[in-house]
């Protein structure tokens, strides 16, 4: 497998492998040992969905040293994480909605981990065996609410606040990938996953010691420096090396 997407035609929802713009439908369990049809499926009438429908979305904070510095916060001694509502997920191409016109709302480009197997208490050395793949994401954040509360879930869980996708890349090394965000064509964030304080395997290990992770669960690995405010009509594009770009407009 390589790039895997999730699609809908009418009432049917299915996974497909994406090869040079053509879609090959999956047969079997995407998290098991699936096979794919040899003939591409017609793209007409298809709707792109988020690449998974997770039981939980886990967000990691302050996981790039440069972002911690720009926030004026000390580096964490262990991963800091919280939950985002799965209802905040939107796919590539769907608009991000700002709920309160007077609030500051920021973009945050992130690499997302997609879990492939049920896992509990795994070591960092073994964590890769439980990862299905990686995709692009954003952790949209209402700073006005975030700065007024000690818990971050509400500020980051509004509908449309977690763009995800478009596809899951199953054959990629997550440890040295450029990660960028462009706002209306202007480069705003520019970093590399080698700058993560806790890498992807460390995160899966740490989180799995606190809870069971299920196939399809999503972990947002944190954002780099350069976060900034968004406004209506903005075009936001996340570009991560080796992944298809994630593009969403704002309204």
70 against 129, higher pLDDT: 129
Indicate the domain borders of the chain.
3-48, 57-249
Q: Examine the pLDDT at 108 and tell me if it is beyond 60.
A: yes
The reported pLDDT for the residue numbered 37 is: 94
Q: In the chain, what is the straight-line distance between the N-terminal and C-terminal CA atoms, in Å?
A: 35
CA angle 58, 214, 35 (to 5 degrees): 120
CATH number for 57-249 (one of 3.30.1280.10, 3.90.850.10, 3.90.1170.50, 3.90.230.10): it is 3.90.850.10
Asked whether the predicted pLDDT for residue 120 surpasses 60, the reply is yes
**pLDDT computed for residue 1 by the predictor:** 57
The reported pLDDT for the residue numbered 68 is: 76
Give 246: exposed, middle or buried? Use CB within 10 Å, 0-12, 13-18, 19+: buried
For residues 158 and 95, what is the distance between their CA atoms, to the nearest angstrom? 13
Entry field: residues in the chain: 251
CATH topology of domain 3-48: SH3 type barrels. (2.30.30)
pLDDT in tens, 189-228: 999 999 999 999 999 999 999 999 999 999 999 999 999 9
- C-alpha–C-alpha distance, residues 13 and 109, integer Å: 27
Please tell me the predicted confidence (pLDDT) of residue 74.
82
Tell me the pLDDT band of 248, cut-offs 50, 70 and 90: very high
Provide the pairing of β-strand 228-229 with 218-220. unpaired
pTM: 0.96
């Amino acid at each position: 497998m390589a790039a895997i997407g999730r699609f809908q035609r009418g009432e049917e929802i299915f996974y497909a492998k994406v090869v040079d713009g053509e879609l090959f439908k999956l047969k079997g369990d995407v998290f098991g040992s699936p096979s794919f049809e040899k003939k591409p499926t017609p793209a007409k009438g298809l709707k792109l969905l988020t690449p998974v429908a997770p039981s939980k979305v886990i967000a990691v904070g302050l996981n790039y040293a440069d972002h911690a510095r720009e926030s004026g916060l000390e580096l964490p001694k262990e991963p800091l994480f919280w939950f985002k509502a799965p209802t905040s997920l939107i796919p590539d191409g769907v608009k991000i909605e700002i709920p309160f016109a007077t609030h500051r709302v920021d973009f945050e480009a992130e690499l997302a981990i997609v879990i492939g197997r049920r896992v509990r208490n795994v070591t960092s050395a073994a964590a890769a065996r439980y990862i299905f793949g990686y995709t692009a994401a954003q952790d949209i954040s209402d700073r006005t609410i975030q700065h007024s509360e000690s818990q971050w879930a509400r500020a980051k869980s509004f509908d449309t606040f977690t763009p995800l996708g478009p596809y899951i890349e199953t054959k990629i090394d997550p440890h040295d990938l450029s990660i960028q965000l462009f706002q209306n064509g202007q480069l705003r964030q520019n970093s590399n996953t080698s700058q993560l304080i806790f890498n992807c395997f460390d995160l899966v290990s740490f989180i799995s010691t606190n809870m069971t992770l299920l196939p399809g669960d999503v972990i947002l690995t944190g954002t780099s420096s350069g976060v900034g405010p968004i406004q209506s009509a903005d075009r936001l594009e996340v570009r991560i090396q080796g992944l298809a770009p994630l593009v969403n407009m704002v309204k």
